[in-house]
A = this chain, B = another copy of it.
Amino acid sequence: MIEKKIFLSEKDIPKQWYNLMADMPTPVLPPLGPDGKPITPDMLAPVFPMNLIEQEVSTDRWIDIPEEILEILYRWRPSPLRRAVYLEKYLQTPAKIYYKDESVSPAGSHKTNTAVAQAWYNKQFGIKKLTTETGAGQWGSALSFACNLIGLECKVYMVRVSFDQKPLRKAMMQTWGGTCISSPSDKTEIGRKILKEIPDTPGSLGIAISEAIEDAVKDKSGETRYSLGSVLNHVLLHQTIIGLEAKKQLEIAGEKKVDVIIGCAGGGSNFAGLSFPFVLDKINGTKIDIIPVEPEACPKMTKGLFSYDFGDCAGMTPLMAMYSLGHGFIPPPIHAGGLRYHGMAPLVSQAIVEGLLAPRAYNQVKCYESALLWAKTEGTICAPETSHAIACTIDEALKAKEEGKEKTILFNYSGHGLMDLLGYERFLAGKLVPYVLSSEEIAVSIDKIKGQPKAEIRKSGKW
């Protein structure tokens, strides 16, 4: 009998995070300040605590996970690795489909992994309050959860379209003591400015980030910091526990190799968390396809520009070298709110340029079709973000069938969709549009960042 759930005991949880910075074939391009020069750690000090800034710039390959953080993670970690035998059977594929189930965390997604770490490091540094943004609400819930356990105040700016679509997310954050505000809001200068210019804007992650940073740096007590749920190196680092656990679990399942790794990618953190330990294998010569999946409504990896750009809408962050659609880009209101971000994590972006990753884009109608097939075979209801990984997994499994090849696929089941059922309802009622952007629409937005410093790296050209 094939066990469909592969558990790892708590004593076998990884005790270190993996840092891809140590192994990236070419050095990662540094963030730049307003003067176009690489920023120094102290320039980030008003926004992040120094212990996290140190992680952000660290090139150590392995970084110890503090025991106190593990003690909190044990509530749901190690998360199960599962085998999707029911979907395999339905597809009549020779492929084996494994998935890492990050939906089991109390807040419902992988976001909780870094939320706990960030809250803990901030607390260690003497911080009393965190501000943040959230798209679909997964990140805001996760940080509220973590702040509650660790003893910090938490204030969340939630992208308006998601705030309106998912009112219960607010209640969830409140249950863990967090405060949730629709963004753009009248609480910040940038929020008021945008509300005046575009009163009916659906909002964007870029805007919400600007509001949260403004809120944090305005607090002159020095006891408030900002927390980001994706994109940055230290956030991706905290997520690598996913892939490291998965490796141990694949071994338990008797799998000697994986052929395809898949994850949806908004800012890049769940994708990086699963894949980076396998990217290391690829760098070391293992043959493996690694696919980040994005929505066609926000196609920075497949149609964006690799360039220096701001992480937020207002240009408050340093310039980062990344795939971007332009920091002013406001994506259509797709249900996968967590994928509505204009840029991609610098580490993921550089790995794409290096040829280590092969990004792909799907539209939300195809993704909901895949989510529905998943619900009707495997049984669970996935997050709209996760449905992008499932759509790609199904394509890869069908390709294996066509080619008559055995193949082992691993994807990240980044979160459940129990708070996102409105999207399913609208899909079932035939009310969803695919939102595929035209090249012209993309070009207009990208043109605006062509004046930024060029992001150039010398590729090793190996992959």
CB closest residue in chain B, given A381: B175
Q: How far apart are A278's CB and chain B's nearest CB, in angstroms?
A: 25
Are B4 and A11 interface neighbours, CB within 8 A?
A: no
Q: At the interface, yes or no: A15 with Cβ under 8 Å from chain B?
A: no
Instruction: List residues of A (415-441) whose CB comes within 8 Å of B's CBs.
Output: 418-419, 421-422, 424-425, 428
Mark each residue of chain A from 140 to 163: 1 if its CB lies under 8 Å from any CB of chain B, else 0.
000001001100000000000000
Residue numbers in B under 8 Å from A4 (CB-CB): 10, 74-75
Chain A contact patch, size range = 35 or more
**Which of B11, B106, B174, B424 makes the CB contact (< 8 A) with A380?**
B106
**Which of A119-127, A329-337, A371-379, A450-458 is the interface stretch?**
A371-379
Q: How far is the CA of A381 from the CA of B174 in the complex (A)?
A: 12
Q: How far is the CA of A11 from the CA of B376 in the complex (A)?
A: 24
Greatest chain B CB density within 10 A among A106, A149, A171, A376 is at A171
Q: So how many copies of this chain end up in the complex?
A: 2
Q: How far is the CA of A170 from the CA of B76 in the complex (A)?
A: 29
Q: At the interface, yes or no: A3 with Cβ under 8 Å from chain B?
A: yes
Q: How far is the CA of A170 from the CA of B426 in the complex (A)?
A: 12
**Which of B145, B148, B421 makes the CB contact (< 8 A) with A171?**
B421
Residue numbers in B under 8 Å from A9 (CB-CB): 3
Residue numbers in B under 8 Å from A7 (CB-CB): 5, 7
Q: How far is the CA of A175 from the CA of B378 in the complex (A)?
A: 13
CB closest residue in chain B, given A417: B175
Q: Give 3 nearest A-B pairs by CB, closest first.
A: A171-B425, A171-B421, A106-B379
Question: A3-B11, A5-B74, A149-B379 provided; 9 other pairs, C-beta below 8 A?
Answer: A4-B74, A5-B10, A7-B7, A75-B86, A106-B380, A108-B418, A174-B424, A175-B375, A175-B424
